[in-house]
Amino acid sequence: MSLYNVQKLLFQLNRDPAVRRRFDDAFETLLADYELTEEEQHALRDPDIGLLYVMGVNGQILMHYAALRGFEWNAYMEAMREGERKYGPVRTGLYTRAQGR
């Protein structure tokens, strides 16, 4: 699990236009710059927003990736719910203690 690296990639993508250009033009080489597991690479590539949520990616980082990949707000909400149905509860991080669910 290299959740930190997944979040770092997404943080830099949100923040840095140069990373954004690499995302557009050379996605695989961008991924290769971060130590990521197969599952993480898949989740980013697919993109599997629900799986990224279940992995524990902070929503304040993830919501921008979802928007960038064309998920409208309701679709983003639904993707997270779908992720929980498919992969189980959030594995680590801030949302493991989310209320009553």
According to the binding rule CB under 8 A, does residue 19 interact with other proteins? no
Q: Residue 45, class by beta-carbon neighbours within 10 Å (0-12 exposed, 13-18 middle, 19+ buried)?
A: exposed
Q: Which of 6, 30, 49, 95 binds other proteins (CB under 8 A)?
A: 95
According to the binding rule CB under 8 A, does residue 60 interact with other proteins? yes
Nearer to other proteins, 23 or 53 (CB): 53
Residue 53 CA to its chain's centroid (Å): 6
Residues in contact with 86: Cβ distance below 8 Å, sequence separation at least 6, in sequence order: 50, 51
According to the binding rule CB under 8 A, does residue 24 interact with other proteins? no
CA dist 94 and 86 (Å) reads 20
The binding site for other proteins (CB under 8 A) comprises 4, 7-8, 11, 14-15, 53, 58-64, 67-68, 73, 77, 80-81, 84, 93-95, 97-99, 101
